[in-house]
Chain A
Amino acid sequence: MRRDGMARVATRGAVVPVWRIMEKTPVIAALEGGVLTLMLNRPQRLNAMSNALIEAMNHELARARDDADIRCVLLTGLGRGFCAGADLSGGGTVDASANASPDLGAGMDRLFNPMIRAMRDLPKPIVGAINGVAAGGGANLALACDIVLAARSSRFDQAFVRISLIPDLGGTWFLPHTVGDARARGLAMLGKSVPAAEAERMGMIWQVVDDDALMAEATKLARQLAGGPTLSYAAIKKAINAAATNTLDQQLDLERDSQRELGRSADFKEGVAAFLAKRPAAFSGH
């Protein structure tokens, strides 16, 4: 699975700081304790998304899907920013200057949209640790995570309208489904930048955390999920994904089918036994 220029810093155990690799790797990946940490690594550009960065993300998300040792993904950014969106300058996904009518849709099809789909379809939880500004596509990359923790100094900025675009990477879907229609329209049309604390109040994200506690909190949460009933989390993701367009009637049937399957899992037996014995459950993910 490994490819040139994508050598990873660590596959197991502690991260080995191989600086020469790190400089070239747009996403640093490290697997520890069932948590695959993905760190966007273009700090000098506030982690704006280049083609190589998205390709690396898609590669890692495929690995997260296929590797049973990975039971949770933690997504964050290196440096001051989380992600400043698509890289609009050289080396980026968009070359608006060279062509009078660029096909922005082609890049979405080939790179961005597969990434967002892979995140939502991943049968494992994704925790976002938003360490700084999340702007444009970066904001919606954050919202694609299942559970978002954000540093108090971070903010969410649907900047698109300022360059005459609409929110993409799922933004026009995530916004009404997190903050409601009225706020969604306001945020998208006015391109207003939302500080983390306000994002939490609106329900756009799960929790705001003090800057210096962010990584510790997010890692703790990701570890907790990595030690949890993985099949249950996968079923929850699938159910909530489906809920948006299902009728309640269809959803009740879906819950029945999922519950039937989970009811025969090792983790359900362990969960009930632990509950009745009043001890913490030791889930295996099976």
Chain B
Amino acid sequence: MSHDTIIVAIDHGLATLTLNAPDKLNAVSRKMIAELKECWETLAADPAVRAVLLTGAGRGFCAGADLSDPDRDRSVAADSGSALDKFFNPVIRLMRSVPKPVVAAVNGPAAGVGMSFALAADIAIAGKSANFLQAFARIGLLPDGGSTWFLPRLVGEQRARALAMLAPRISAEQAKEWGLIWDVVEDGALLTTATEVARRLADGPTLALARIKEAMNRASGNQLSQQLDLERDFQRELGRSEDFREGVSAFLAKRKPVFKGK
């Protein structure tokens, strides 16, 4: 994969995607989102990739849609829905549906759809100096990239409404305290920590991780009774996997398991 705006590195099952427009705090141009979508499609289809780490180059994680992008349609009839349909929404859907864990290393400001990218990750870890901003209402829009769905589920109805309407900037510490993200670490330790977490997941029981992801996705719409059935079905399936056999025998032998993702 060769891209101008994204650096892709694959190392023993762990794919790292680095948004690479550091001079613009990785604001998302038409070109970047098209390339990002291509990357996600490729990684989703590649069975050798067992976990994905998403981060940004330079000082920022992602500043949201690039409003100064020369490719942006400025006409009166401009359709801001079509870019969502063609690019942004498919990326969010892929991040949530890809049967492998996604880790975000939020290395700086995550604004607008950049914040949605962070929230769409299964596990988001932020550097202390990172911050989060639902900037949309500041320009007369509503949060997109799934944020109107992520926010109430992560921080509850009250905070979701206030974050969307008042568009305050939220520190990484506050984000952790509220449960918007998983963890905060020192800036200098961010990439190491996030890579360790992503590495552990890439070496983990991929089928189980995929089913955890799927079960959590479904939980928000399911009744408990439906969810119990779903857990039964997934557990039945996982109970027949190689990784389950390996996990149990390693547990009994008191040694570390070696999972293959099968």
> Which A residues form the contact surface with B (CB < 8 A)?
125, 143, 146-148, 174, 177-180, 203-207, 221, 224-225, 228-229, 231-233, 235-237, 239-240, 243-249, 251-260, 262-265, 267-272, 274-276, 281, 283
| In the complex, B175 has a CB within 8 A of chain A | no
Q: Counting chain A CB atoms within 10 Å of each CB, which of B84, B85, B161, B220 scores highest?
A: B161
Q: Are A178 and B156 in contact (CB under 8 A)?
A: yes
| In the complex, B157 has a CB within 8 A of chain A | yes
B120-157 to A contact mask, C-beta < 8 Å, 1/0: 00000000000000001111111111101101110111
Q: Are B141 and A259 in contact (CB under 8 A)?
A: yes
Q: Are A203 and B159 in contact (CB under 8 A)?
A: yes
Alpha-carbon distance between A265 and B166 when the two chains are bound, in angstroms: 19
Query: With A146-B161, A148-B158, A233-B165 as given contacts, are A256 and B142 in contact (CB-CB < 8 Å)?
Result: no
Alpha-carbon distance between A254 and B145 when the two chains are bound, in angstroms: 11
In the complex, which residues of chain A have a beta carbon less than 8 angstroms from the beta carbon of B178? 203
In the complex, which residues of chain B have a beta carbon less than 8 angstroms from the beta carbon of A249? 93
Interchain Cβ contacts under 8 Å between A and B, 7 examples: A204-B158, A228-B137, A229-B139, A248-B146, A248-B149, A257-B81, A272-B139
Alpha-carbon distance between A39 and B2 when the two chains are bound, in angstroms: 62
Q: Are A255 and B144 in contact (CB under 8 A)?
A: yes
Q: Taking A239-B148, A256-B89, A267-B140 as given, write out 13 further A-B residue pairs in contact, using a Cβ cutoff of 8 Å, ordered by the A residue number.
A: A125-B161, A147-B166, A174-B157, A177-B156, A178-B157, A237-B161, A240-B148, A243-B149, A248-B92, A255-B144, A260-B79, A268-B141, A281-B139
In the complex, which residues of chain A have a beta carbon less than 8 angstroms from the beta carbon of B85? 256
* Interface set, chain B 186-211, CB cutoff 8 A to A: none
Q: Are B156 and A147 in contact (CB under 8 A)?
A: no
Say how far B64's CB is from chain A's closest CB, in angstroms: 11
Contact of B158 among A147, A262, A275 (CB under 8 A): A147
Query: With A249-B93, A252-B89, A256-B84 as given contacts, are A231 and B156 in contact (CB-CB < 8 Å)?
Result: no
* Interface set, chain B 24-80, CB cutoff 8 A to A: 67-68, 76-80
In the complex, which residues of chain B have a beta carbon less than 8 angstroms from the beta carbon of A203? 155-156, 158-159, 178
| In the complex, B160 has a CB within 8 A of chain A | yes
Q: Are A263 and B142 in contact (CB under 8 A)?
A: no
In the complex, which residues of chain B have a beta carbon less than 8 angstroms from the beta carbon of A244? 152, 157
B76-102 to A contact mask, C-beta < 8 Å, 1/0: 111111101100010011001000000
Q: Are A229 and B78 in contact (CB under 8 A)?
A: no
Query: With A203-B158, A252-B93, A256-B89 as given contacts, are A264 and B76 in contact (CB-CB < 8 Å)?
Result: yes
Q: Are A268 and B139 in contact (CB under 8 A)?
A: yes
Query: With A146-B165, A177-B152, A251-B149 as given contacts, are A262 and B157 in contact (CB-CB < 8 Å)?
Result: no
Say how far B28's CB is from chain A's closest CB, in angstroms: 14
Q: Are B84 and A252 in contact (CB under 8 A)?
A: yes
Query: With A252-B93, A257-B81, A276-B68 as given contacts, are A147 and B165 in contact (CB-CB < 8 Å)?
Result: yes
CB closest residue in chain A, given B179: A203
- Nearest 5 Cβ contacts at the A-B interface: A260-B81, A263-B80, A271-B139, A267-B140, A239-B148
CB closest residue in chain B, given A221: B166
| In the complex, B164 has a CB within 8 A of chain A | yes
Query: With A180-B156, A205-B158, A256-B144 as given contacts, are A240 and B137 in contact (CB-CB < 8 Å)?
Result: no
Q: Are B156 and A179 in contact (CB under 8 A)?
A: yes
Q: Are B149 and A263 in contact (CB under 8 A)?
A: no
Alpha-carbon distance between A235 and B152 when the two chains are bound, in angstroms: 15
| In the complex, B235 has a CB within 8 A of chain A | no
Alpha-carbon distance between A272 and B166 when the two chains are bound, in angstroms: 17
Contact of A236 among B68, B146, B161 (CB under 8 A): B161
In the complex, which residues of chain B have a beta carbon less than 8 angstroms from the beta carbon of A179? 156
Say how far A239's CB is from chain B's closest CB, in angstroms: 4
Query: With A244-B152, A260-B79, A263-B78 as given contacts, are A206 and B162 in contact (CB-CB < 8 Å)?
Result: yes
Alpha-carbon distance between A221 and B165 when the two chains are bound, in angstroms: 11
CB closest residue in chain A, given B218: A247
Q: Counting chain A CB atoms within 10 Å of each CB, which of B67, B145, B162 scores highest?
A: B162
In the complex, which residues of chain B have a beta carbon less than 8 angstroms from the beta carbon of A237? 161
Q: Are A281 and B138 in contact (CB under 8 A)?
A: yes
Alpha-carbon distance between A264 and B93 when the two chains are bound, in angstroms: 25
Alpha-carbon distance between A272 and B221 when the two chains are bound, in angstroms: 36
Say how far B58's CB is from chain A's closest CB, in angstroms: 21
Query: With A203-B159, A245-B221 as given contacts, are A252 and B92 in contact (CB-CB < 8 Å)?
Result: yes
Q: Counting chain A CB atoms within 10 Å of each CB, which of B68, B140, B142 scores highest?
A: B140
Q: Are B217 and A236 in contact (CB under 8 A)?
A: no
Say how far A222's CB is from chain B's closest CB, in angstroms: 11
Contact of A206 among B78, B81, B142, B158 (CB under 8 A): B158
CB closest residue in chain A, given B139: A271
In the complex, which residues of chain B have a beta carbon less than 8 angstroms from the beta carbon of A254? 148
Alpha-carbon distance between A239 and B151 when the two chains are bound, in angstroms: 11
In the complex, which residues of chain A have a beta carbon less than 8 angstroms from the beta carbon of B136? 232
Say how far B153's CB is from chain A's closest CB, in angstroms: 8
In the complex, which residues of chain B have a beta carbon less than 8 angstroms from the beta carbon of A247? 220-221
Alpha-carbon distance between A264 and B85 when the two chains are bound, in angstroms: 17
Say how far B52's CB is from chain A's closest CB, in angstroms: 18
